[in-house]
Amino acid sequence: MFSILVLHGPNLNLLGKREPGIYGSSTLEDIVRLLEEEATYHKVTVSSLQSNHEGVLVDAIHAALGKHQGLLINAGAYTHTSVAIRDAIVAVNLPTVEVHLSNIYRREAFRHHSYIAPVAIGQISGFGADSYRLGLQALVNHLKERG
Ligand code: DQA
């Protein structure tokens, strides 16, 4: 059974209250529950971690080695700034899918660049909480095809 690490970056702990017009009304708890249901359906396991600290996310990516087979990540604002998170993903060489609730390409120019996208299998952006569900599905399909 595949085990997937789900990482939620800064400010995502405030989902539900935070700019609901952009990020929707689902809380982080709702998203974690949705991912657990989706994981059961695909017969995989998910472990979720949210942190507002870049180093904690880097440590979690390192610790995934040998424990998880894939990474689903919404790095929040670190998407647009963090060479360290990108390097950690490259270092562990785990298949990674990047997700965003909002469509980052319809927003401010500074959100159009992702340090993670070039080292990810792919990116899903703009479908609200459904981005996570679609991202998990894509990651599981990739892992199953790879065998
Ligand atoms: C986000 C988009 C980022 O630009 C922003 O900083 C976030 C959330 C999203 O899920 O849409 O914190 O990653």
Average pLDDT over residues 84-106: 98
Residue 62 and residue 146: Cα distance in Å, rounded? 22
Residue 87 predicted with pLDDT over 90:
yes
For the full predicted model, state whether its pTM sits above 0.75: yes
pLDDT, tens digit, for every residue of 6-38? 999 999 999 999 999 999 999 999 999 999 999
Ligand 1 atom nearest to CA at 126:
11
Q: Whose Cα sits closest to atom 13 in ligand 1? A: 76
Percent of the chain's residues with pLDDT above 70: 100
Cα–Cα distance measured from residue 105 to residue 65, given in angstroms and rounded to the nearest whole number: 31
> What residue numbers bound the domain in which 123 lies?
3-146
Name the token pair of 112: 């159009």
Q: Which residues have a catalytic role annotated?
A: 23, 100
Cβ 118 vs Cβ 79: under 8 Å: no
Q: What is the mean pLDDT of the chain?
A: 97
Q: Ligand 1 mean position to 100 CA, how many Å?
A: 6
User: What is the pairing mode between strands 122-125 and 96-100?
Assistant: parallel
In this structure, what is the dihedral angle of CA atoms 62, 98, 83, 68, given to the nearest 10 degrees? 10
Would you state the torsion angle of the CA atoms of residues 130, 131, 135, 136, taken in this order, to the nearest 10 degrees?
A: -40
**What's the number of domains the chain is made of?**
1
CA-CA distance, 85 to 3, in Å (whole number)?
20
pLDDT value of position 131: 98
- CATH code of the domain in which 11 resides: 3.40.50.9100
